[in-house]
Amino acid sequence: MQKYYLLIILFWAGLGVSAISPHDYFTWILEVFPEIAGFFILLITFRKFRFSYLTYCFILIQCYILFVGGHYTYAQVPAFNWVRDMLHQTRNNYDKLGHFAQGFVPA
């Protein structure tokens, strides 16, 4: 049971870090609100409908991807600028990672 508490702590820590001076607070709220609502839905239904620990880890990873996208906006994530430059692309492709995760995690 303690491992689930660790995921809860990591969720709130990631949310808190992403809230520190984001690019635009309105965009940040739009990006993180579904994760906060999902957190409470998973918390309320935890005793009656429990996923595997691995599933909760994937959900946390997806939340972190959305936290980072909400903090910087998807087109301006600094970590993906080097990918853009290395592959000689015209834009930052962090949103592709987000779309991949949105398809992979539910599956």
pLDDT in tens, 54-79: 999 999 999 999 999 999 987 788 88
pLDDT at residue 95 tops 90 = no
Angle, CA 85 vertex, CA 99 and CA 66 arms, to 5°: 25
Residue 28 CA to its chain's centroid (Å): 11
For residues 61-90, one letter each, b for 16 or more C-beta atoms within 10 angstroms of the residue's C-beta and e for the rest, the string is: ebbbbbbbbbbbbbeebeebeeeeeeeeee
Model pTM? 0.88
